[in-house]
Structure 1
Amino acid sequence: MGGTNQSSVSELLLLGLSRQPQQQQLLFLLFLIMYLVTVLGNLLIILAIGTDSHLHTPMYFFLSNLSFVDVCFSSTTVPKVLANHILRSQAISFSGCLTQMYFLCVFADMDNFLLAVMAYDRYVAICHPLHYTTKMTHQLCALLVVGSWVVASLNALLHTLLMARLSFCADNTIPHFFCDITPLLKLSCSDTHLNELMILTEGAVIMVTPFVCILISYIHITSAVLRVSSTQGRWRAFSTCSSHLAVVGLFYGTIISLYFNPSSHSAGSDMAAAMMYTVVTPMLNPFIYSLRNRDLKEALRRPFAMKYLSTQ
């Protein structure tokens, strides 16, 4: 068998979240609504940041990139779920499955990296406010985002190539609503120890390193804020980080628990956690940032206010 893919499976079946017809109808409507809200909410964030010169700062530059990634992340899985329901088909080609897995890894890693970059941005803004403009230059911001894309793409390519070398001999049903690494490994009839080893080593480093950077950033931020004498000043400093902290908790609370031990999870818990970080989190991010950010709320409200005034 060597390193070649001896798979006789050319097509895989995604069983989805439920086999009950009534539940499928409800889930289709739920997925459709969440996807539309995700796309609309994140595109509004991108539009507001792009059109408002007051928001052309590093923090909002990273936020617009996060919104773009969230749209792509959700678009990797949800349209296929909706199409399979409409077409009454559960099939996905083997190559299509690997492609979906590749882009899932890319966008999951990008979410991970961007959250760490945004934490570093808040660290510089709060702990070194006088040097913020000299430290967070346009070149550094662009380098951080481009570097994140490069590392995320290489990491996803590694796991996709490792998956492509496995054999899938008989069973072609995936008890999931998209092609994720864990259910595919359980489906393989060849040795998956190398794949699992890479998830627990290289994959863990990719996940843990940004998380550690976030923790270190917030340790310094907390220390700096506690040195502020006024209660109002402390509250103002913490409020600038509250949205980011909420998104960090939501993202890492599901994805780390899902991937740190790929052999021991049930299909049900895997799907619930996967739905949280691929569908729910990208949908909630625009609400978290817009509701907790006065500048962003003003930028989102301004086009509608101008349109209303022009009709008067």
Structure 2
Amino acid sequence: MNNLVTPPQRRARMQLQDGRILAWSEWGDVDGVPVLFCPGAGMSGWLGFGAQDLPDLGLKLLAIDRPGLGLSDAHPHKTLSSWVDDTRELIQCHNLDNVLAVGFSQGAPFAFALAGESLVKAIAIVSGQDELIHPHIKPLLHPDVAGMIAAVQQDPVEFEQQFSQMATPEGLWRLIIGMSGECDRRLYDSETFGKAYQQALQEGFSQGAQGYVRDLVNTFSSWPVKLENITVPVDLWYGGADTSTVHSPDFGATLASRLPNASHTVDPEAGGSILWTRSRDILTKLKSYINKLP
């Protein structure tokens, strides 16, 4: 299990038109088909996945530090829409073609936002957070999650100010471990993987908690992208043994019903860490959409 993660092969940054820095980590062939990775909550792009599979598949993974996380400058008014604008600049500046994307956990709405603006040819949503305010999802939420959403809806500014004073990378790591089932804890508690995950969290909080909390507010609110209008292929991957309360409570069933072009896989033996335990399957299926293009 220790070969599931490796340090970034390259780290890069660019200056956006408004002067901010956008940073990311890379693995794979520099000339490979680009896969934009949207990491989970509070994480920098330091923790990638599938590094051992990328060369064989002809892929290049770019794990982006969202604004305010890692080495990317904060956006004073970050939204899912501003994230799309930043990513469009990255794609255009580097002349990226046939771009794919993967969203893990809280990274899911960021990947959906890219698909909604047709910046990518296909996406994979892995252990993804659902649109938690959707009427079919709200009744299924854990009370703690429902309470946070209610607080965001009541006063997002107050929530952001208060939560930014409390959130820490250590606290988020304890929360992740506490929500994880046995199969996930075996991986997360392993020395190499655990250290890598915690380094991504430490980097994610290196500018403070504001970047993470702003992501919470944005993803716990109504999303600007209408999933029913996304026409690119969307692969949904969930583990049936995933016990996280912040991932999709019905393992993507409602998401699959809302998306016009969805593939839905629930592996009963896997947990929320399916991103790493089935990385080759996830990347192979995602790459297949590029192979079908004229």
Q: TM-score, normalised by structure 2?
A: 0.29
Flag the structure with higher strand content. Answer: 2
- Tell me which structure has the larger Cα radius of gyration: 1
Q: TM-score, normalised by structure 1?
A: 0.27
Flag the structure with higher helix content. Answer: 1
